[in-house]
Chains A and B, each alone.
Chain A
């Protein structure tokens, strides 16, 4: 028996499989966006880049383990000026806080194919608990999670200073997601 080979095989196995994360996010079939109101005008935006480590079985939601990480520099609010502004210190301060993370602390079934996830969402170093509702349904061999949650931008100091005026940019932001997971939980 070649001990070295065995050890490296074991190491490779450990590296390949994170603590949980049996499912993989399929970016091409996923979307993460948000809507808010600017002078009462609905505006939509998206994040292009995000990763997830998920183990979610619709039959056993309590056993869910999930963390999401969003690359905030990938924000798109529909134009180069807005995108540049969103990365600045007053908004996401991407230079100091490049990522937002969400960790599911508890997931429960609400019935009718609906679920509710609770946990801390960390943006700009500020952690706030959120409650996201979503549906889970099979899409071919994949699993499609669709849902969203509301957040208050000022709780994360998004839009500090002169931007804090909620008449111009509303405090309420609705986040929407569509995550396609592949693989078994």
Chain B
């Protein structure tokens, strides 16, 4: 039987990860302009914890998706839109993995390892290197804005389906009504 909806676990993954990405993005924008302070250290740590959580959740989500599958696109849509949606989804997954990974690399290069939730110190992926740290920081920022752009497209497309096409595309990723 082919699925018509995402299952409850997939829906939970989707919205939890979405929330965490928004939180991490907002924190980064705010923290960047803060003068060096105890608050800045705290918020940077939270940003890193959220990013690593996203990385872990996305890996679990992909495992779940490989096991449970995902509903195929609703019938009667132009082929280019189906392809575009698949491309956007692949890009989202790629960025959700790459962005926290680059952040982790950058933490290692800058000599401030990630201690997840203040408890679990993650291994350094590269040794300390100030120049590499700066390059990774720039890459992290570029990827973040790229993710922002892709998320905006994703949201606009979902709203277009919901409001203009009035189809079930968005509804099948919403909790409730099975």
A99 to nearest B CB, angstroms? Answer: 24
Interface of A is mostly: mixed
CA gap between A82 and B40 in the complex, in Å: 12
Size of the chain B interface, CB-CB below 8 angstroms = 18
Task: Select which of B36, B38, B45, B130 is within 8 A of A41 by beta carbon.
Answer: B45
CB under 8 Å from chain A, chain B span 97-116 = 110-115
Task: Select which of B37, B39, B111, B115 is within 8 A of A78 by beta carbon.
Answer: B111
Task: Select which of A39, A79, A162 is within 8 A of B37 by beta carbon.
Answer: A162
Task: Determine if A40 is an interface residue (Cβ-Cβ < 8 Å).
Answer: yes
Decide: A168 and B112 in contact? CB cutoff 8 A.
no
Decide: A39 and B45 in contact? CB cutoff 8 A.
yes
Decide: B38 and A165 in contact? CB cutoff 8 A.
yes
Chain B hits for A78, CB < 8 A: 110-111
Task: Determine if B177 is an interface residue (Cβ-Cβ < 8 Å).
Answer: no
CA gap between A78 and B107 in the complex, in Å: 13
Chain B hits for A169, CB < 8 A: 38, 41
Decide: A81 and B36 in contact? CB cutoff 8 A.
yes
CB under 8 Å from chain B, chain A span 88-106 = none
A39, A78, A79, A165: residue with the most chain B Cβ atoms closer than 10 Å: A39
Task: Determine if B42 is an interface residue (Cβ-Cβ < 8 Å).
Answer: yes
> What mask results when residues 26 to 57 of chain A are scored 1 for a CB within 8 Å of chain B, else 0?
00000000000011111110000000000000
Top 5 closest A-B pairs, CB basis?
A39-B45, A40-B118, A168-B38, A40-B115, A85-B36
12 contacts between A and B (CB under 8 A): A39-B44, A40-B45, A40-B115, A40-B118, A40-B119, A41-B121, A43-B111, A84-B36, A163-B37, A165-B38, A167-B42, A168-B41
Instruction: Known pairs A39-B115, A41-B113; list 4 more (Cβ under 8 Å).
Output: A39-B42, A39-B45, A43-B112, A167-B42
